Amino acid sequence: MEVKRRDFIRGALTAGAYGMAGRDFGFAATANAAALPLPTPAHLKWADMELGMFYHYDIPIFGSGHAPSPKCYNPEKLDTDQWMEAAKAYGAKYVVLTAKHGAGFMQWQSDIYPYGVKQSPWRGGKGDLVRDFVTSARKYGMLPGLYVAMHYNWFLGVRRSNGRVSSKGYYGYGEEAQRKYAASCEAVLNELLTNYGELFEIWFDGGVLPPEEGGPRALEIIERLQPNAILFQGPKQAKNIIRWVGNERGVAPYPCWATGRDVTQSDGVKESKGEKYAGTPEGKKWMPGECDVPLGPCKWLCTSKGRYWTMDELVNMYDCSVGRNCNLILNAAPLQSGLVADEEMKIYAEFGRRIKARYSNRLAKTEGTGERIDLEIPKDGGPVNQVVLMERIERGERIRKFDIEALSGGQWKKIYAGSCVGHKHIVRFDKIAAERLRLSVTASAATPEIRDFSAYCN
């Protein structure tokens, strides 16, 4: 139960108030704040969404081979409104559809090449899954996004994960075929980014081959048509870029900084000095991590086999993704019929209930600026075993090291030591009867600014 108290300590308490004057906390001069990389408005909006839903639905679930005949694609019960019910139950705020995956099958009306819903029997060749998807998303208050594979296309003969023509396909083979393939990618982007309104996120999955290496002019098209879209592993010069966390388990490393050193076209994001997936506080580019995960190991499409994650595993994913300065995007794998399986719908709903229950029993909350912030726990609040911290990331990631202490039985006890906070950091610890919690920032790039310091008991 959230306790509303007028006597919360809203600001930071000075070090001197606790007899700490003169201690060196490792702070850089406040002027250094001007040198910190900052998120774009699109990054800020994306971070506050926290939860997304992926929909992997593509022609391989209908036929054999990497690029089955379009004649096999005919989802007779497809209902994208039902898909959004899954997202809503789980708590997602944005949704991403595989508009064109590796097979090259275009799930919208297009004449770029003859491989898509227009060549299928579905709705007499008049169907448009992308339109259905974005319409349903907006109907349910979700922000729509699209997955667009640029790095391989089995129908066109691009079979390596680098966006290079690798076999004699639809356009032939060689540099002329490569130019035609790049042109087809540009045409795909132009259609998808023009015809369906504003898109929240565009997923490239593996990066985009740059024009100077034979790839499409993706960045130019994005900046012209969808300048506010978040780009997963997009072109390296893109401003609204986000990165992968190195696994498909829904778990980010800790620390996981929102800043990095370098972005590459082939991997989307690549760090140096062993920091590939964790980011680095010394990075000069804002590119936070997104944790993508299927509902069960290897279960991206409904044809894949594997058990479902347990509910405890899913809750832990939330704490180790959203709670580690990332977003979590959980996959749904609709059946060949075009519906999400009833069993999976129940899992999404239960997961959503678990998260809602876990973070609806806030005992106390405060915010503030400075190296010391105290949080008073009401006498009737009970024990504490979880803390949520959030920085005001619009001012940059400032905290480098911090401690959390609890005043229990008249004595201060350190219960946690951490480093990265960023948008959100969730801390679990053994239950402790505490009258007060204290956040002590011991190293920072500039004056810490705390958006949320909350205590819970679960």
Pick the CATH number of 41-358 from 3.40.50.2000, 3.20.20.80, 3.40.50.880, 3.40.109.10: 3.20.20.80
Give pLDDT tens digits for 15-36. 333 333 333 334 444 447 778 9
- Give residue-wise pLDDT tens across range 361-406: 899 999 999 999 999 999 877 799 999 999 999 999 999 999 999 9
Q: How far apart are CA 368 and CA 366, in angstroms?
A: 7
- Least confidently predicted of 234-243, 266-275, 345-354: 266-275
Identify which has the larger pLDDT, 221 or 271. Answer: 221
Helix residue ranges, H only, 195-277: 218-225
Report the alpha-carbon distance of residue 322 to residue 125 in Å, rounded.
41
What are the residues whose beta carbons fall under 8 Å from the beta carbon of 309, sequence distance 6 or more?
295, 296, 297, 317
pLDDT at 14 over 90: no
Give residue limits of the domains in the chain.
Answer: 15-35+362-456, 41-358
**CATH topology (fold) of 15-35+362-456:** Jelly Rolls (2.60.120)
Give the span between the Cα atoms of 226 and 230, in whole angstroms: 9
Show the tokens assigned to 112: 């770029």
15-35+362-456 and 41-358, same CATH topology: no
pTM over cut 0.75? yes
Under DSSP, the state recorded for 236 is: T
